[in-house]
Amino acid sequence: MSKKLQPEHIRQVLDNSLEQIEPPVLSRLRQAREQALARHDAAAARGASGWAARWHFDTPHYKFRYFAAAAVFAAVLFSGMTYWQHVHEATEVDVAILTDELPIEVYVD
Amino acid sequence: MHLTSSQEQINLASRDELSRFLAEAERRAYKQALFAVRDEHVALDIVQDAMLKLAEKYAAKPMEELPLLFQRILQNTIRDYYRRQKVRSMWTTLTSSLIPQHEEDDYDPLDTLQSKDNNNQTSAPDASLEQLQLLALIEKALMDLAPRQREAFLLRYWEDMDTAETAAAMGCSEGSVKQHCSRAIHALAAALKAQGIDLS
């Protein structure tokens, strides 16, 4: 075999070779394509349920969660303030003991 | 309700586009993978992996971006296979020195094609036989190219990508693509010339 061959001929030969792919291989390629499309459908469905979840976030159920979170925050804040007040009072008593200025009520208790 | 139905229409259209694109690309992708790995089943697995990845992660992309994305995924999947093979062959070499290291050098696609030709020799016309022989020689020469050279050559001259697109698909610079293509053409010309075919 002695002949001239252009790079475009290589392309043409390769294109022609696609027609010679055997049926079992074509069948497996078709199956692979169908699986890929099924995967695409599943991904699209997940995307749709993601939208549903985002929409669900604005429902009253989630408003209740906001309220509960606010209530917990208020409780923590109240506890902190009470504790701080208690510590402040104890400090006042300590200072009074050290300076011998304790009021008579303390001894009565 | 109207929003939902239009959303469905958009999804269905992109599904059809994806289906059409995959149907057009699958044979060439298979041949590319086959040139790279020289194993029909592995090549099919690689194409299937690439299709699944494209459908799952990138199907929402515009149609114009799909060919480049698919090529990039396909080439990465082939490279992943090479890496796994490299690790596997390293362990094989370590555990056994009895297994020959370059079994694939003995592989010659002409053997299988010639046997088929022999079976159909009476019915096949001479031109068709010559075409088959030419195809076998070109495929053998392509398989013998260095992986990056083959990748660049096929993307550039078979997939008809420009240098920038080929560089994007290969994850390298345009200069590297030109270098790989030039070397590939020289190597192909030399391999084919040895068989009496001038690549001009």
pLDDT for B123 = 46
User: Which residue matches tokens 């001929």?
Assistant: A9
Q: Where are the domains of chain A?
A: 1-56, 57-109
**Structure pTM?**
0.64
Flag whether residue B48 sits within 8 Å of chain A, measured between CB atoms.
yes
Q: Which of A68-77, B8-17, B101-110, B152-161 has the lowest mean pLDDT?
A: B101-110
Mean pLDDT of chain A, nearest integer: 80
Q: Which helix (H) or strand (E) holds B198?
A: strand B197-199
Amino acid at position A10, single letter: I
Q: Is the Cβ pair B198, A25 closer than 8 Å?
A: no
By a Cβ cutoff of 8 Å, what residues of chain A touch chain B? 1-7, 10-11, 13-14, 16-18, 20-21, 25-26, 28-29, 32-33, 35-37, 39-44, 47-48
Flag whether residue B143 sits within 8 Å of chain A, measured between CB atoms.
no
* CA closest to A27 among chain B residues: B44
ipTM tops 0.90: no
Task: Choose among B72, B16, B63, B46: nearest CA to A29.
Answer: B46
A25: chain B residues, CB-CB within 8 Å: 30, 40, 44
Nearest neighbour of A40 by CB, restricted to B18, B30, B139: B18
Quick one: CA torsion of A12, A18, A21, A23, rounded to 10 degrees?
Answer: -140
Q: Is B99 left (phi over 0), alpha (psi -120 to 50) or beta?
A: beta
At A60, is the pLDDT very low, low, confident or very high (cuts 50, 70, 90)? low
**In this predicted model, what pLDDT tens digit does every residue of B86-144 receive, in sequence order?**
888 888 777 776 655 555 555 554 554 444 444 444 444 566 777 788 888 999 999 99
Strands (E), chain B: 197-199
Give B100 or B193, the one with higher predicted confidence. Answer: B193
pLDDT for B181 = 92
Q: How far is A59 from chain B (nearest CA, A)?
A: 18
Residue B52 has pLDDT above 50, yes or no: yes
pLDDT for A8 = 80
Q: Is the Cβ pair B7, A18 closer than 8 Å?
A: no
Residue B2 CA: distances (Å) to CA of A41, A46, A57, B6, B9? 21, 20, 22, 6, 11
**In this predicted model, what pLDDT tens digit does every residue of B57-84 receive, in sequence order?**
887 788 888 899 999 999 999 999 999 9
